[in-house]
Amino acid sequence: MKSPLKVLIMSTVVIAVVGSFFPLVRNLLALSWIGLERFYLWQLATYIFVERSSFSFHFALSLAFDMYLLWIFGTSLLERARPKLFFILYFGAAIVGALSVLVFPRFVLAGSSNAVYALMVTWAMINPHSKLLLFFTLPFHSYVLVFAILSISLFFHVTSENWVAALSLVSSCFFAYLFALFTWHTTGPLSFFHSFERKLIRLFEKRRDKTHSNIYDIQSGKPLSDDDQFMDAMLDRISRHGESSLSSQERKRMQKISKKRKEV
């Protein structure tokens, strides 16, 4: 297990268990209008560290399942991205989910499901053809597994009329979808939507070209100054996502490198 992920899981478990025994901790960290009116703005991010209920079998089962998913999908994502990018996704999804429920006059939002399920969505988008052994025994296609887990969770939220949890979950997952789309230039599971998604990616890249002069490696975060390293990274992206995933700046640099090599 990656060290940043280990710290995140251990912190979540410890804080959640402490909060289940001490309501004061839960009230300070869980998101609510009462807290926001007292300027507890940290609640927009800290609600994912506590559960809404006191310690019980359901509490332990829910926390264990979320941490299991965080371990599985977090480990895989950290192999593809540096920790900074991982935490932007994790806490960004949590904050977006929190902001979406501010339209409700009264609510209490707690639990790590929003951020964890957002990781699942991103993982499925960058690993569309992968299969995962759930509980080490049951093989599932990535999109099937993610869709099943999200559908079950949303079903329980809707049938119990927990609209706060339902809206926050959908908002967090939508953020994760956009994050994967613009960061990894990967498309979603709906083939008829791919053309529109690629247009969004190209539009995003054009805007980024105007503000950034360097091409960065998505894993290390360092500029790809070496031509061979840059070409390897671009060819790998083309093999996975197609030539349309390249920005105009990246295409121009590839053309210059190819021309320079022909002249040698």
Q: What is the pLDDT of residues 185-195, one digit of tens each?
A: 777 777 777 77
What pLDDT was estimated at residue 248? 61
The CA angle 80-81-83, to the nearest 5 degrees, is: 135
Q: Pick out the chain residues at pLDDT < 50.
A: 212-213
pLDDT tens track for 43-96: 999 999 999 888 888 889 999 999 999 998 999 888 877 888 899 999 999 999
CA dist., res. 140 & res. 69, Å (int) = 14
What is the set of domains in the chain, with CATH numbers?
A: 3-183 (1.20.1540.10), 191-263 (no CATH)
What pLDDT was estimated at residue 118? 95
Helical H segments across the chain, by residue range: 3-21, 23-29, 33-37, 43-46, 57-78, 83-100, 113-126, 142-159, 163-183, 194-209, 227-241, 248-263
pTM > 0.85: yes or no? no
What pLDDT was estimated at residue 5? 92
What pLDDT was estimated at residue 78? 87
225 φ/ψ angles, rounded to the nearest 5 degrees: -80, -30
